[in-house]
Amino acid sequence: MAARKKRPTGPKVAVIGAGSFGTTFAKILCDAGCDVVLWARRDEVASEINMGHRNSRYLHGINLPKQLVATSDIDEAVSGAEMVFYAVPSQTMRANLVASKPYFRRDAIAVSLVKGVEKGTRQRMSEVMTESLEIPIEQVAIVSGPNIALEIAKEQPTGALVACVDLDNADWVARACHTAYFKTYISTDVTGTELGGVLKNLIALAIGIVDGVGYGENTKASIITRGLAEMTEFAVASGANPTTMSGLAGLGDLITTCQSPLSRNSTAGRLIGQGYTLQETTSEMNQVAEGISSVEPVLELAQKRGVEMPIVQQVKMVLDGTMKPADLAPHLATEDDVPQEELNLTAEPVRDSAWEWFKKLFSRESEQ
């Protein structure tokens, strides 16, 4: 194990997954003063991080903190950790949770950095975590926002939202990963924070597809705007607060994922728009585009909740080969000529809470 050169002042934490974002988040936690152990699936990745303070496969050119310790032994990583951050593909999340469970402290906080929905069960990652680790939802936190890994690793300023139904735990996690370049905010809306991270990937696939076809900024702006409407309607129908979709975990993440050349999902969409098959796109990319595996379960949930998501439906048709990429954009929001409302929020309990929020806002303004 590499020798530490600076004594950590924060909590002992583990990061499971040494891909681009897992490694970047381990750097954030180190810079915030935490005692960090990063679990890598491959011995050679852990060795490079320990010996050379680099992860050249996923973060080329980035120097990692010398105090960061990496291991391929999940026991060594998780045992005694007060917080365990999971940065693995959504479809392997359950297996990684099961592998770490024997070493997971019963009072530890499990934190998801993952933006996806599990196939088959259609569960969000927080649901997979509570079920697999057998812990209450109060011990689960979500970190989400406009967080392109390489930009953060270069210490370019950004913000993120930490959500937990226990606000004290959200605050604890937020403080553990707060640095001069990574500003954290807190929320109790776990559902909305997770869904923002999941749904924006699907819209980014659509943006990539039309970009690959050659459509311009008007088309992309329309898809982003209509995509945000689809995201909001789906989130509210799922019990989320609509205001979350206008924040870092919703609109902020959507903008970044749609416009950044470093975005895995828009890159995958762009390749498909240029004529690559789904299989060719997958083999061409070095990393997982979570949106591809989330399209089907999200549409299944949308149908169950009575929410129409025409852009996401058309992305599925392109992926299935039943729609040409060039035909996605002309449809945008509907396949008929009947004008529709821009936004239709039908989840009464959440809409009521939003109305109360607006009343309080205007009440404060009238008092000033």
Q: Tokens in use for 137?
A: 């939802």
Adjacency order of strands within the sheet including 83-86: 69-71, 35-39, 12-16, 83-86, 109-112, 140-144, 158-163, 182-187
**6 assigned to active site:** no
Query: Quick check: helix, strand or coil at residue 12?
Result: strand
Distance CA 87, CA 284 (A): 22
Bridge partners (DSSP) listed for residue 185: 161
**Which of the following is catalytic: 200, 316, 324, 360?**
200
Distance CA 195, CA 41 (A): 27
Q: From residue 302, how far is each of 202, 234, 306, 307, 350 by CA, in Å? A: 13, 7, 6, 5, 17
Amino acid at 286: N
Dihedral pair phi/psi, residue 288, rounded to 5°: -85, 130
129, 140 in Cβ contact below 8 A? Answer: yes
Q: In sequence order, which ranges of 53-143 are alpha helices (DSSP H)? A: 74-78, 93-100, 125-133
104, 110 in Cβ contact below 8 A? Answer: yes
Q: Give catalytic residue positions.
A: 200
